[in-house]
Each structure stands twice: as structure tokens, then as C-alpha cells.
Structure 1
Amino acid sequence: MKRFLMLLAAIAVALAAYAQQGKYYVDGREVTAEEFRTLPMNRVAKMDVAEEGGTKVFRVTLKPEVQPAARERKEARKEGDASEPAAKRQPGELDLTGDTDLPFEERLARAIRKVYDETTLLKEGDRAADFTAACYAGGEVSLADHRGKVVLLTFWATWCGPCLKELAPEALPAEVLDRFRDRADFLFLPVAYTDTPQSLDKFFASEKGTAYAYLKELAAMDPDKTIHGLYATQSIPRSFVIGRDGTIVYGSLGAAAGEAERIAEAIAAALEAE
């Protein structure tokens, strides 16, 4: 289920981020950028992204259309026939079917925020849970040892597409880490969710992983999800900006457009606070 939710989130983020450029194919048929942007998320079964001749090419495979009999049952439920109740949305499930009159980006942001509210255990104003974790580069890191600093705690995983989008060199590193690189009172603490030394070895040795080599010296590990479980029930990428006194001042879920900038502003405000 979690992998499915991450796939759905990845598709939603990609649709929003790239629908201004490239070529788009749905079930083998080339479509316009606008048609691509307005695809119903609940119909998307798979999306592949490739670069061909310097152009991004997006290929989407849709789920089979609802058969007539199933459609009739669906319409009956709309008209008040309760003989076959509709499937309920599960807590933490990304839902983009509502507010269809709103722009896609706003629907996505609202859906992600709803998942955040449902799955986050510690939110703004709460005391950050202390933990000690093994570091990929060796040794251990304890959150309590960095009290007095502003900490950006980010949960990510090597298998998580939205995580890698958020942590790509041109994203969070360029927009956040470079800005505070010279601040001794700031710490970036990326915690690898479900990853082990072996999975991280494999990732960093891969062609894809070379772009994330900066994480080798920074990453702590949470192979059994114990640390993440102190903060949330599910879903990554997930970040918390923690103030000098150990209080969470900002929480973030997903890699939506503009999120890195909002994280940076929260860090700047926390650094300026007494």
C-alpha cells in the first residue's frame, strides 16, 4: 500500500512539474500538455519518463475504463442507492478527485496537506522526539546533542522517487542547503527510511546515486522505521524544521513545487528567533 501511495504521489508531482515541456503519450497516443495535465489521477496505472534527443518524453498507461455495468452501479450510488456502498478513502491516501474546479497544482497541494494532517504524529508546536541513529559514514548521531541548533530533519529512501526529486542537487541542496552552508548553528539531518548499509552501498554505487554522493557523509539510517514512527505513521519524503529549543516549527510532506522555498524560509525564521 505504501509503495502504491508513493507511486501515485510521484505521478501527481511529475504531472504538475513537467506538464509545460516535452512530449506526452497516453496509451500510445500523443496528447497536448493541457490534456496531460488534466489526466484523472485515479485512471493512471503507470508512467514512464525518458529523455529522447534532449526532450523529456512522458508515457502514461491508463487503467481500463469502467465497464457499463460497473458504471451503472456507480451512477446508482450517486442517486442514493445504498445497496453497494462506495469504497471509502483510506487515511493517508492521496485523493485528487475533489475540488475539480481548482487548478491542478492547488488540488495537489491540498491533497498532500490532507495526507500530512492524517499521518503526522508530531506537528508544529510539538517537541521533536529525541533519537539516536547509526550514520552511514560511521558512528552515531543524536538529535539531543544538537539542541541549540536549527535542524532540518528529512526522512527519505533510496527507492522513493519523490524523495530523490526533493534531494536532487538542483532542488533542496541548491535552494536550502547552499543558503545555510556557512551557519554553524544549522544542521541538515537526512534519515534514510527502511535503508540499510547494504542498500545505501548499492544506491551510491549506481549511476543514479552518483548525483546524491553529498548524502554519504550526512545520512543516518532508520532500517526498521522506528525513528520515523516517532513522527508519523507513514509517507515520505517528510521534513521537519526544528528550532533551537527542540520545538517543531514547520512540517512538510512531499516534493511539491515551492516546498523547498517554504522550508528555507522556516529555517531562516528559526535562525533569527531568540
Structure 2
Amino acid sequence: MARPRPRVAAAAATAAAAAIVLTGCSSSGSSGSGDGQLGFVAVKNTNMSTAELGKRQDAPDISGETLEGSQVKLSDYRGKVVVLNVWGSWCGPCRGEAKDLQAVSEKYRDQGVQFLGVNTRDTEKANAVRFEQEKGVTFPSIFDPAGTQLLKFPKGSLNPQSIPTTLIIDRDGKIAARAVGGTVEDALESILQPVVAEPKQ
């Protein structure tokens, strides 16, 4: 069998690298089965999906120690919209989206929105802390190197192998939207704004 020409091989490698960036750091860009049961509907031509009011499942009350050493749990923010971002310092797309996440967190801080990270598969906390410092991330992150908190989520809502993943949790603690893979400011706002605009129950 003929070997591919260098230019063709280089183009294929570039396309493969681009696909990895789009889908995230995992071997699977999918969140697994269960979308129907979770009420998720895919947003056409994006890596995002949303769930209508009345069709959402409860988010588990994950908890743990933050990278700064304080204790936090998701229910601390009940009554706020929570943007939950799962990330790792080893993950290229996580590095790519960090500044966009920080920008959106600052923009929506006074609109009842709280950002919370879950740092996973970082064996050394120092690496995660350095990541936050380099990227200017100021919102808290739970240190969850083994992914034990991620396993608490309903099947299909959050695949621990798909990093990064961002979930939008509504004011009642239900999973309203999801972006699998890296996201950018405009895309994140497109699924966050409708949840922020929902009337308080």
C-alpha cells in the first residue's frame, strides 16, 4: 500500500487535531446515553444541548474542598443560576476556554449567576492552582482528582471522560443546558441567557 504524500498526511493530522480541540480532551466527545430521559435537545450545529422547564433533572449536591482550601457544595448557590465547568490543567481546550469563562462570570456576576469549577484528573493541586493564576480565573473550583463528584450526576448528563464539559444549573438546582467540549464567550451566553431570564419560582 502506498504511503500517503507528506502534504496529504499533514492535512489529515491538522484535521484530526482540530477535531480533538472541538470535542475536548477525551476519547469521547459524547456524553453517553440518556439525553432523552434528561430532556436534552441538541442545539443544531453546535456541541450544546438544552432542556425545557418541566423536563429537567435535579443536579446532585456535589461538594468538596476548593483549590483554595475552603469547603463548598452546589446547594450553597440555590436560588442562583450556576455555571458548572469541569476542567483539568492538562487539557488543551480547557486552557483555550478559561478566559472566556472568566469573562462571562464577571459579566453575569450581578445577575444572580455563580460560576463553579470541578477540577479533575489533576494529581497535583499545585498544577490546577497554577492554571487558575495563569488564566486569571477567580471563581472557585472543587478539587476532585478521582472524579468522585462527577460520578454523582445522572447518567447521560455528564461523562467524566468528556473534558471540558460545562453545565448550566437553574435556580431550582436542575440541569438546564450543557456544552460538551471547549466553549467560547458568545456560545456560552447563548445557553446561559435564557436560563437567567427565566422567572424566579
- Calculate the TM-score normalised by the size of structure 1: 0.52
Kindly state the Cα deviation for residue 165 of structure 1 after the two structures are TM-superposed.
0.7
* Match of residue 172, structure 1, among 96, 101, 107: 101
Q: What one-letter code is carried by the residue in structure 2 that aligns with 1:272?
A: A
How much is the aligned-residue C-alpha RMSD, in angstroms? 3.5
Kindly state the Cα deviation for residue 41 of structure 1 after the two structures are TM-superposed.
5.0
What's the counterpart of residue 142 of structure 2? 220
* Match of residue 181, structure 1, among 106, 109, 113: 109
Distance 2:149 2:105 in 1: 23
What's the counterpart of residue 61 of structure 1? none
* Match of residue 11, structure 2, among 24, 36, 39: 39
Distance 1:252 1:43 in 2: 21
Please say if residues 204 and 212 of structure 1, whose CA atoms lie closer than 8 Å, have aligned partners that are also in contact: no
| Number of positions where the alignment pairs a residue of Structure 1 with one of Structure 2 | 169
The 3-state SS of whatever aligns with 1:214 is coil
What's the counterpart of residue 134 of structure 2? 211
- Identical positions, percent: 26
What's the counterpart of residue 247 of structure 1? 174
* Match of residue 155, structure 1, among 65, 68, 86: 86
Q: What one-letter code is carried by the residue in structure 1 that aligns with 2:66?
A: C
Deviations 1:210-241 (A, max 9, x none): 422434x6121112101122333321000000
Which structure has the bigger radius of gyration? 1
Kindly state the Cα deviation for residue 203 of structure 1 after the two structures are TM-superposed.
4.8
Kindly state the Cα deviation for residue 209 of structure 1 after the two structures are TM-superposed.
5.8
Please say if residues 61 and 75 of structure 2, whose CA atoms lie closer than 8 Å, have aligned partners that are also in contact: yes
Structure 1 spans left out of the alignment, 5+ residues: 1-28, 48-93, 96-104
Gap change, CA 1:146 and 1:194, over 3 Å in 2: same
The answer to whether residue 122 in structure 2 is matched with residue 200 in structure 1 is no
Kindly state the Cα deviation for residue 116 of structure 1 after the two structures are TM-superposed.
2.6
Structure 2 spans left out of the alignment, 5+ residues: 1-5, 41-50
Gap change, CA 1:229 and 1:243, over 3 Å in 2: same
Kindly state the Cα deviation for residue 252 of structure 1 after the two structures are TM-superposed.
0.7
Distance 1:202 1:117 in 2: 26
* Match of residue 263, structure 1, among 178, 181, 188: 188
Distance 2:95 2:127 in 1: 15
Distance 1:43 1:251 in 2: 25
The 3-state SS of whatever aligns with 2:179 is strand
Please say if residues 31 and 180 of structure 2, whose CA atoms lie closer than 8 Å, have aligned partners that are also in contact: no
Please say if residues 240 and 251 of structure 1, whose CA atoms lie closer than 8 Å, have aligned partners that are also in contact: yes
Kindly state the Cα deviation for residue 118 of structure 1 after the two structures are TM-superposed.
2.2
Please show how residues 7-22 of structure 1 align to structure 2 within 5 Å. Answer: none
The 3-state SS of whatever aligns with 2:149 is helix
Distance 1:119 1:164 in 2: 27
Q: Which has the higher contact order (CA 8 A, sep 6+)?
A: 2
Gap change, CA 1:150 and 1:200, over 3 Å in 2: same
**Which is further off, 220-229 or 155-164?**
220-229
Q: What one-letter code is carried by the residue in structure 1 that aligns with 2:149?
A: I
The 3-state SS of whatever aligns with 2:67 is coil
Q: What one-letter code is carried by the residue in structure 1 that aligns with 2:57?
A: D
Kindly state the Cα deviation for residue 140 of structure 1 after the two structures are TM-superposed.
1.0
Distance 1:151 1:209 in 2: 19
Structure 1 segments (4+ residues) deviating >6 Å: none
What's the counterpart of residue 47 of structure 2? none
